[in-house]
Amino acid sequence: MGVSTVTIRKDLKVLEEMNLLFRTRGGGSLNNPYTMERSINEKASIHAEEKQQIAKAALDLVGSHDSMLIGSGTTVFELARQLYPSGPVTVITPAAKVTLELSNRPHVELIQLGGTVRPKSSAVVGPAAESALEGMSCNLLFMGVDGIDLEFGLSTTNFNEASLGAKMVEAAETVIVLADSSKFNKRGLAKICNLDRIHVIVTDAKISDRMVKAVQENGIKVIVAGNR
């Protein structure tokens, strides 16, 4: 446009102050890219049908004798709710709701991580849980997130949960993110990891073809649940 980068940055700042856009890395957006923290009970009613479809699709990734981490959040809880393995599996989780759901489930050996329970998520965080993960290695991690941004990576709204999430990523051979389409182009306050640590994203049919292509260009397999 024949103007300097400094001028563009100043103009973006003015437009943001006028509440006409939200500044993002490298530009601006009409949509708010930042997520707000909600309780797990409040989240459960948001995009509920899409979460059920995502969980159903993700079940195909679970095999007999797999060991898996299941994180906190309503989409991965839906996976736990639908998990009825035909052969033995091991589930490790920080989430109290996942533990209650699977505690008497046939063929499931369950390991509950210890730590401080966050009321918002009903999941443990802190040094005890992180220390336990340092001595573990598992096949799969099923993780829920608050935001997926092509530049910023995966994020959540709480620093302690992000720190535990990063430890879970390190402990898993294959990292699978379960996220409905509303989570894309969003950022939480706390970064979990870059996209290059992710192997698979399972999402719903409302995701755009453009976003699918952009994610795939980062070397990530995208599984779209439901009918497009």
pLDDT digits (tens, 9 = 90+) for 43-62: 555 678 999 999 999 999 99
pLDDT tens per residue across span 156-206: 999 999 999 999 999 999 999 999 999 999 988 899 999 999 999 999 999
Determine whether domain 34-225 maps to CATH 3.40.50.1360.
yes
Given this model, what pLDDT does residue 119 score?
87
pLDDT number for residue 43: 56
The domains of the chain are located at 1-32, 34-225
Span 78-114, pLDDT tens digits:
999 999 999 999 999 999 999 999 999 999 999 999 9
Query: Could you read off the pLDDT of 5-18 as tens digits, one per residue?
Result: 777 777 767 766 66
Cα-Cα end-to-end distance for the chain:
38
Which percentage of the chain shows pLDDT scores above 70? 84
pLDDT for position 5: 77
pTM above 0.85, yes or no: no
pLDDT of residue 36: 56
